[in-house]
Structure 1
Amino acid sequence: MFLLKPIRIQSLPSQTHRCIRQLESLLDPQNTTFSIGQSGRHWIRLYFYPFVYNSYNMSLANFAVSTQDHVLLSNFSVKSSAVVKEYSLNVTSNVLVITFTPSNNSFAFLNAIEVVSVPSGLITDDANTVSPPGNFKGLLPTALETVWRVNMGGQTVTPDNDTLWRTWIPDKSFLVQPNAATNVSNVAAVKYVSGGATQDTAPRTVYGTATRMNSVFDPGTIFNVSWEFNVDPGFQYLVRFHFCDIVSTSLNELYFNVFIDPWIVVKDLDLSTYLVNQLAVAYYMDYVLVTTASNKLRVSVGPSTVNGNFPDAILNGLEIMKMNSSEGSLSAADSVIISSDSSSKKNLGVIVGVSIGAFIAVVLAGILFMLCRKRRRLIRQKQSKTWIPLSINGTISQSMGSKYSNGTTLSAISNIGYRVPFLALQEATNNFDESWVIGIGGFGKVYKGVLSDGTKVAVKRGNPRIPTGTSRNEMILVYEYMENGTLKSHLYGSGLPSMSWKERLEICIGAARGLHYLHTGYAKAVIHRDVKSANILLDENLMAKVADFGLSKTGPEIDQTHVSTAVKGSFGYLDPEYFRRQQLTEKSDVYSFGVVLFEVLCARPVIDPTLPREMVNLAEWAMKWQKRGQLDQIIDTTLVGKIRPDSLRKFGETAEKCLADFGVDRPSMGDVLWNLEYALQLQEAVIDGDPEENSTNLIGELSPQVNNFGESNTNISTTQFEVSSVEDLSGVSMSRVFSQLVKSEGR
């Protein structure tokens, strides 16, 4: 696809590795190879969102997707809303090759891809059969596509609440007679016992809710509660029922029957005695359905007349998985419709594919914009799932720990957009109440908002009178709400309390880390082009996050030294070499960041026409004092006497080198980051006997950890990658350096 602003951060699923890959638009057949650390079943999740980019209209793309052994999609296109396809394959080799092949002189595209290892016990080799009843063996080598994954009687279960990062959607829209059913919930009662389901089978939020027969719907009559699902004809299906008796008050109180289409698959089911004599025990049942000629599949539960019990029936969750054809295909375009009285004699593969119309841009018109993810509380950051950029050429493997595992092989992706409905934004901002405005910029007004789940957001609404090039008159961006606003507001002009030197250093380090990641974390550098104190945001803990990627641009190719482009940026921060030559490199960001460093030190605007002529431009003025060795004469008065001389000297040297006239003489952001870390160490403690303590030229002497940030490092420990500390750049969590928001409303 295309590089789209920030990187998405989330938590890693149980016993999994995630392969995250950012793709260019594919004009020719393209193989994408992932290294597999351990053979076995793996999920493949493909994310598609069509939009227009330059001459490419993604909704016109038509292509096939396949692996070494299976066809996943053929003659595939995405016309409007975003689609997520999820497959489950048994990978027996040490590599997984996924091929994208354009059809009929078209092209292929992909927004993101995940490869996730599946716990070995999640799909067993055998299941029950329907019509005739019996046993099916051969699921292990079968490929599956998850067609539906449904939470009965409950709300959407997001990946954050599922150990294997699955999404479970509500069942309400599938009910044949909604009035015949009612919802119940008792999540706290759910028990997992040996021999039954586990949290990997389905989370408590699925087993703890249920759709129940509504006894007042038609009193005195016997009826079923039924759900109907769209499916592709010509395939067999694996249907998994999830049960948990959360409604009974005593044993043997609830008996009911379970149906798939016209066939009864379980008769007189008593959930309380199925495994052990307990209530609220979670378990599941698997059934393989014969090849269907219909595009509808109906599932029902209804009361049993055994023992004369009160008529009742429940269902907690349901998964419907398409099984590959005898030719190894899961594509509907390749299906062969067989009459319902015949069945395949061969072992069939299994794959899993959920079509969730989600993950789309928060802009209500036009090109995909990346929404940023809500920052997790520090106590939960060890459990954050990380989407990592990876070059399309070659494979990167790293050791990564997960929420519950000790670490598996990771081969890495990236960006998915999200959509928040316009009505939700109206509600969040009190219908864009003018009293809720927290800022006004060239784009438009920014409103404080609170989403329905309590998440605070900043809603940036485009001014309809300003041309945006979009096809509609509304364009809105949603950001994580940063409690402490911009770095600029804490330095001057707002009357906020002054920050300590340590706080300022830590903020600079955080911002440098974000820019360093932009420059080195992807196959091609991403140049921010608008680095300034107003675009460095601070959360409630004064953690800095780089924001506003509206001017960002991908950097030069490997065989190029620069990108020729029109000059963009902000006065006072603009790289003079870029201005003169209109040649953009990462060193333009370095120059701008050098201006920010002096701004942090001196706490004054970068351009102030009210001052004497020699003081108007902060960069020029500060550089004169720095070259005289008298930088301490112009620092923020609140810092006088509070900065250790060695720390100030190192900080001043770093800023000076950033502002070198020629980009080739400036340090990389990795160098800058290292030196700021060193300045912080000098501020916090005097290092006796350190030969480097009085050095005036440490820039360029990088630690290996920083120098290898953008490279593969298979020796990174699980602890380093999980616990992203200030000192541990190799395990940096991008939620800690970019202002981001991810909301479940987009799913």
Structure 2
Amino acid sequence: MGCKIIELLIWVSSVLCFQCFARGFTPADNYLIDCGSLANSTVGGRVFMADDLASKLLSTPQRVVGNTSKSIISSAVSRLYQTARIFTGVSKYTFPISQRGRLWIRLYFSPFVYATYNMSSAKFDVSTENHVLLSSFSVGAHLVKEFSVNITTDSLAIIFTPSENSFAFINALEVVSVPDQLIPDHARTVKSSVGFQGLMWQALETVARVNMGGPMVSFKNDTLHRTWVPDQSFLIEKNLASTVSNTRAVKYVDGGSTPEIAPVSVYGSCTKMNSLGDPNSNFNVTWEFNVDPGFQHLVRFHFCDIVSTSLNQLYFNVFIDSSMVVRDLDLSAYLGNVLAAAYYMDFVTDSATMNKLRVSIGPSNLRGAYPDAILNGLEIMKLNNSDGSLTGLGTANTSGSSSKKKVGAIVGASVGVAFGLLLAGLLFMFCRKRRRVAHRRQSKTWIPFSTNGGTSHTIGSKYSEGTTASLNSNTGYHIPFLAVQEATNNFDESLVIGIGGFGKVYKGELNDGTKVAVKRGNPQSQQGLAEFQTEIEMLSQFRHRHLVSLIGYCDEKNEMILIYEYMENGTLKSHLYGSGHPSLSWKQRLEICIGAARGLHYLHTGYAKAVIHRDVKSANILLDENLMAKVADFGLSKTGPEIDQTHVSTAVKGSFGYLDPEYFRRQQLTEKSDVYSFGVVLFEVLCARPVIDPTLPREMVNLAEWAMKWQKRGQLVQIIDSNLKGKIRPDSLRKFGETAEKCLADFGVDRPSMGDVLWNLEYALQLQEAVKNSTNMIGELSPQINNFSQLDPTVSSEQFVLSSVDDLSGASMSKVFSQLVKSEGR
């Protein structure tokens, strides 16, 4: 009797909690419009405003029509389908947004015939400023299209664009705020151990929302006015499944789901294996859904163990298509050993190659586990592609895009022949240089560490020139542990100058007076032997004044220690924010960016294969006593693709905020991934703020996205470091912003090479230093130097390669650059 009372109290608490949540969420923005209607309509307790009241939100309003068709069923829902607004030209609703964040956009369509308008024949696009929602859309029966977008501005425009010789229409629409916690920023991925970051910024389209094992849940019974359909029509083998309903058992607990994630009517029913008491049952219950190929999808599983009578009783596996995404799932172990606690899991799929997506549950192989599996609810949402589109047939509404493409095609055709000739010359030089490099070095294979504590070698002297001694093997860099102890006063904590993923970094001094930075590996670090080997292998071969020089290493006494030249002024990051250093001038910042670009350009082009840094960030750009920049930390570096390949397939590594999204999605690494990261650094240099700052308003959290919005508006000056206000020449800022923008292109093929970036940064420096009497000359310069075909033909390709790749003379690249861009040439 006591147990039943407790169970009843838990059920009552759950109901009260549900009612609290139902009352608790009040959308900050809640626009409901019955398009074409002359009076307000109440549907499911919500009031959709009359169209004339909403007309102030609409630009270029078109015809308002009423439906006289008798085929419309007279019901509460159908009231939204009895009128429509028709658009014969581009039109848009503009909604003021009081609270930035995620919004529902629900579009109601039900075609009928009015006068000369047969709405079944309408064809049109629907978009926002940043996303294409529908493209060449037509509809034959009434339906609702639901989208979720993240709004970072104070207004939202929904744009209707009729196709040629057609028109657009809409029966009703909603723009409603969504709770922040509904779509978290991260999710698991189907085929990779690396999670998906950035869901917060994705536009989503609802593909399916299913209540497993229960009836339809209408919008009237959902706190966020969603509709959940039964799962029977999606089941592959209905006879393999059975259903259970037990809404009283559902509990919402901290760390789990909430009624806003899914209502109790979803968690209170489930579809399960129909094992029929057979302990040897071995099959999966599978559902199949239609999806659009070429898009990633967010798959959300809703679980609540309403079938077990005790904890740790139910174990099962979960699949998306042929991939097992969860093995031996025990729901009672996730939320503090609470039975029947509501829980959900999110997964992001790879881009779909088929038009079907299957979801399955099946028995665990654990010994003694009874063959059973459950699923309470499922949501599938399509993610926008890299163009911001949810259709694959268009890009977000941006004026001038088509004309730009035409201009690009003309320019491409005109320079094609010249580029071909130049490419032939470069290939000849490339092959010759490759033979020289192959002859010069023995192998890039790591030579085993010495274990005998051999003789110490003192390496190099003029470290500011960025050169290292030419040795026949890596053992020439070995430094005894005793010498490292002496250099760091036995690793005195007062000498610690930094702490990274590999371990602590100490300031030290060798017995010849050379100042060094000593990076001592932490045995618990995630960056272990592989990174240690890579760092030595890479740096023992590099020869460039803008790469930090390796002095030596020590691998005695189970230690992993790297010794570098000491960089007096620390990291670029420390000079931008957070450490109290004096502010850098714009010229200093440009020169630092140029130096780092030279170092990366050398990595990408200085050897037979490109070397991809993979962790370009301001903390890995170090400054010497003269503020000369040198790229550091090569533990994640990787050699680039073979000459007949386009990329290297590899697990994603790098730093959050700087990571190339294309590399993250496809796990295909190219040198253009470094270019993307460097573009983030450029905005970091300009704005002097962290690349990810969760303390800022949502639209400002991610520096790259925030800065790109201002750059595309042509108002980058609004967000620059306050210390630079009024100190940057407009032309220099414009060129710098354009360069950063190109680096952050969605696709690697659209990004410039590091050589192109270097030239553009040199150009930005020239524009900044231009004096008044040279204004005319500056005005005559090419507005953008971003490929080899635009270089002065009087400068040979060999001269260019030698000056940009080796860069050992210490001569200013500004001088070389000025000779290339002046009209009289050299």
**TM-score, length basis structure 2:** 0.39
Greater RCO, 1 or 2 (C-alpha within 8 Å, sep 6+): 1
Normalised by the length of structure 1, the TM-score is 0.44
